Each structure stands twice: as C-alpha cells, then as structure tokens.
C-alpha cells in the first residue's frame, strides 16, 4: 500500500457500540426493556409457562413500544437470550420551536441540538407549545434507543 492513498472513514459517533445487548429471557422483568420485532419496548407483563415433556419453559412478554406506544407481544424460551436495547434519557433546556415542528435544545456543553421534532403525543405537544409561548423555562427529557430519539417528558423550571 502506498503512502499517497488516502482513507476516508465516515464517523457515526457511536464508536461501533451495539444498539442492543443480550440477556437471558428468564431474567427480563416487568418495567424492563426488550426488543420485539426490531422495536425498543418497555415490558408491561411477563408470564412464564412450565416446561413441556421435551421442551423449554417459555416467557411470554407483553410490551409497549417506547416511541410509538404500540403494544407488541413475543414468546421466547426462558433459557434463550433476547435483545435488550440501550435506553438513555437526557435532559435538555428548550430554546426555540421552529415553524416546521423542530425544536432547538441547549446541551450541557453549551451547544445546541436542532435535529429533534416535536413529540406526536397531543397532551405533551400542547404542554410544550403553551409553556413556550408563555415564556416559561422548560426542560425536556429526550429518550434515545436503537438510533431513535424522541421527547418523552417535560419539566417546568419557572419563568425566564
């Protein structure tokens, strides 16, 4: 290989970290997280069936997608591994709301984050818009998992 060749690598800023990690199905509990049909979900119900004559005990998961609220179900042998998403929650201060539905957020380092849309949840959406138009200082919680991000909660820290 000659020295004149240049290599260009695309930076995705996740250092190749996996979006999920394996965990034994029998150890996943209610209020935990699980991946069902490639969607990150919060477990709302877990039931375990007894082993059959030749089989494994099976875990039946009922979970709700953390981004769109859809109910999903899955049945996995309790001794097998299932994917668990890395779920992060970060708080940002709301700076601005643009006309096209994007929000401008202040990060802890002092920079801005401008790539998030307003939430689709009607009550949260009206709370954010009303609070912002009243000139309140708002802190939004952003949940991120598997390459997706969405505003999931709102805190009011008083008037500006």
The H-or-E segment that residue 68 falls in is none
Say if residue 131 is in the same domain as residue 104.
yes
Tens-place pLDDT, residues 107-156: 888 888 888 888 878 888 888 888 888 888 889 999 999 989 998 888 88
- Taking the whole predicted model, whether its pTM rises above 0.85 is answered as no
Helical ranges in 87-154 per DSSP H: 122-133
What span, in angstroms and rounded, lies between the C-alpha atoms of 100 and 7? 38
Say if residue 115 is in the same domain as residue 79.
no
- Is the pLDDT assigned to residue 98 strictly greater than 50? yes
CA distances from 2 to 5, 6, 62, 81 (A): 6, 9, 56, 45
**Domain with 30 in it:** 20-85
Mean pLDDT of 56-63: 92
Mean pLDDT of 72-81: 92
Mean pLDDT of 67-92: 92
How much is the CA Rg of the chain, to the nearest whole Å? Answer: 21
Residue that is last in its domain, among 85, 115, 133: 85
Mean pLDDT of 82-101: 89
Say if residue 25 is in the same domain as residue 67.
yes
Backbone angles phi, psi at 106, to 5 degrees: -95, 125
**44: CATH:** 2.30.30.30
Say if residue 35 is in the same domain as residue 74.
yes
Say if residue 38 is in the same domain as residue 72.
yes
pLDDT computed for residue 11 by the predictor: 41
Rounded (5°) CA angle 142-118-63: 55
Encode 68-96: b = buried (16+ Cβ within 10 Å), e = exposed.
Answer: eeeeeebebbbeeebbbbeeeeeebebee
Tens-place pLDDT, residues 1-42: 455 556 555 444 455 567 889 999 999 999 999 999 999 999
pLDDT computed for residue 50 by the predictor: 84
CA distances from 102 to 6, 41, 67, 117, 139 (A): 37, 25, 17, 4, 15
Mean pLDDT of 68-85: 92
User: What's the structural domain count of the chain?
Assistant: 2
Cite the beta strand spans of 4-135 per DSSP E.
20-24, 33-36, 39-49, 58-65, 71-77, 81-85, 88-97, 102-106, 112-117
């Amino acid at each position: 290989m000659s020295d004149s060749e240049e290599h260009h690598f695309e930076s995705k800023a996740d250092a190749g970290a996996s979006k999920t990690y394996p965990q034994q199905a029998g150890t996943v509990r209610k209020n935990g997280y699980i991946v069902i049909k490639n969607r990150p979900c919060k477990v709302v119900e877990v039931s375990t069936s007894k082993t059959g004559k030749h089989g494994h005990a099976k875990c039946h998961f009922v979970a709700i997608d953390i981004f769109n609220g859809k109910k999903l179900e899955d049945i996995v042998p309790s001794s097998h591994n299932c994917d668990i998403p890395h779920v992060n929650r970060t708080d940002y201060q709301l700076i601005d709301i643009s006309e096209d539905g994007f929000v401008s957020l202040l990060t802890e380092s002092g920079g801005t984050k401008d790539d998030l849309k307003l939430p689709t949840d009607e009550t949260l959406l009206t709370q954010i818009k009303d609070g912002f138009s009243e000139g309140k200082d708002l802190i939004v919680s952003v949940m991120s998992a598997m390459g997706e991000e969405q505003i999931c909660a709102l805190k009011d820290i008083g008037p500006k």
